[in-house]
Structure 1
Amino acid sequence: MIRSPMRLATHVALLTVPLILLPPQSVIAAGGGGGGGGGAGGGELYGSSYSTPAPPSYPQEKGKRTTQKKRPAKQSSFDDPAFRDGYRAAYATIYERNDYAAAIEQLHALGRDDHPNVANLIGYSYRKLGDYKQSQVWYERALKADPNHVLTWNYYGLWQIEQGNRDAAQYHLSRIAEICGTTCDEYRSLAAALEKPPGTSLVY
């Protein structure tokens, strides 16, 4: 039993000290919470924010670095199953069947011509068909939608080489280096193409 008001005050003071020493912020911090930008890689089915992705059924390319930049709003189109499936089908038409004219129709049918991934693949398809004027239009459209779209810089760089514009292709290579470094696939393939003698046929 506490015998005096002085001892009662001492006990009350001792009981309140731990509460005073633990600020409210420490409780919040202890809760953790993986904040940190949500950004690259988290929940995005299509890989990094700076390249045209392979559909989920295709292996992701190695050597890419992710960025913490906020993704363009148009990237959310991949959350739509119909868009994702249509994109996957067009991707297969291009890279498995090499039917570029059919792929252009499939890509237009998605109704997302200003999506950088879509515009880039349309540009690529036109380039493979030999229509360099239309190809350029679509590459420019992809870069307008996303100036850091690294695969467009790569494909457009190859376009420049095929047109004899090696200085412009070198500029594209420098832009790729700024976006993903010199070890990513896009940098290495364009650098290899630039090392070939002028007039060499490119298979990319």
Structure 2
Amino acid sequence: MITAMIRLVALGTFAAASLSPPALAAGGGGGGGGGGGGPGTDPFGSTYSDQRPQPTYPKRPGAKSTHKGKKPNNQSSIGDPAFAAGYRMAYDTIYERNDYAAAIAQLKSLGHDDHPNVANLIGYSYRKLGDYEQSQAWYERALKADPNHVLTWQYYGLWQLERGNREQALYHLGRIASICGTDCQEYRSLAAALDQPTGSALVY
């Protein structure tokens, strides 16, 4: 009887794993920002500061992915040192120099436009430049590549707020909750933005 139960549990675990969408390695591209390197975390993980998201760089070969509980991995990365270096440079161009146009060129030159981290940072940069149409296209591209890319849901939610689409922003908040819960930084950040009076300037 016990052996049969163990077999059923093992079979259920295998079936659940096989039905899950294939997850890429941890990392989360920025957002903007994107967002590793947060305090006390793997620098390629997904912890972010309140105002300035920390970069999520591609994982080094042999590095282990980090998971929050039993939730699926909510960021993505590429294990290529050249990509990591270029990504770091573009991230610094955005957050150290606020040169969004240059960052877009740097990110596109990486040759990984369909990677969610890259597409998300490009979308963020276009949003900061006020080009909401291009920004939306890149956020959609990031989510097409990884529907669980939590940082894109956060920053696309901020995009929705800036466009006056509060109901859509609430939908994005719900998607974030389903991916990483209500304690993750992405959820808290978008929830805080939603708590601000309509028309408030967002600093993200």
Instruction: Please report the TM-score for the alignment, with normalisation by the length of structure 2.
Output: 0.68
SS at match of 2:156: helix
Residue 61 of structure 1 aligns with an amino acid whose one-letter code is T
Residue 54 of structure 1 aligns with an amino acid whose one-letter code is G
Q: How does 1:21-170 map to 2 (within 5 A)?
A: 46=27, 52-54=34-36, 61=47, 65=68, 69=72, 75=77, 77=78, 79-170=79-170
- The CA deviation at 1:54 is 3.2
Evaluate the alpha carbon distance shift between residue 109 and residue 66 of structure 1 in structure 2; reply closer, same or farther with a 3 A threshold.
Answer: farther
SS at match of 1:130: coil
- The CA deviation at 1:46 is 3.8
Unaligned runs of 5+ in 2: 1-16, 18-24, 50-66
Which one has the bigger helix percentage? 1
Assess if the C-alpha contact under 8 Å between 1:127 and 1:159 holds in 2: yes
Residue 169 of structure 2 aligns with an amino acid whose one-letter code is A
SS at match of 2:200: coil
Instruction: Please report the TM-score for the alignment, with normalisation by the length of structure 1.
Output: 0.68
Evaluate the alpha carbon distance shift between residue 194 and residue 47 of structure 1 in structure 2; reply closer, same or farther with a 3 A threshold.
Answer: closer
Evaluate the alpha carbon distance shift between residue 98 and residue 66 of structure 1 in structure 2; reply closer, same or farther with a 3 A threshold.
Answer: farther
Residue 119 of structure 2 aligns with an amino acid whose one-letter code is A
Evaluate the alpha carbon distance shift between residue 69 and residue 58 of structure 1 in structure 2; reply closer, same or farther with a 3 A threshold.
Answer: closer
Superposition CA RMSD, Å:
3.0
Evaluate the alpha carbon distance shift between residue 116 and residue 201 of structure 1 in structure 2; reply closer, same or farther with a 3 A threshold.
Answer: same
In the aligned structure 2, how far is the partner of 1:132 from the partner of 1:70?
Answer: 28
- The CA deviation at 1:69 is 3.8
SS at match of 2:175: helix
Q: How does 1:152-191 map to 2 (within 5 A)?
A: 152-191=152-191
Deviation track 1:57-113 (CA, whole Å, cap 9, x = no partner) reads: 6996269836564789x73x2x21111100010011111111100000000000000
> Greater CA radius of gyration, 1 or 2?
1
Question: Which 4+ residue blocks in structure 1 deviate beyond 3 angstroms?
Answer: 44-48, 51-60, 66-72
Residue 94 of structure 1 aligns with an amino acid whose one-letter code is I
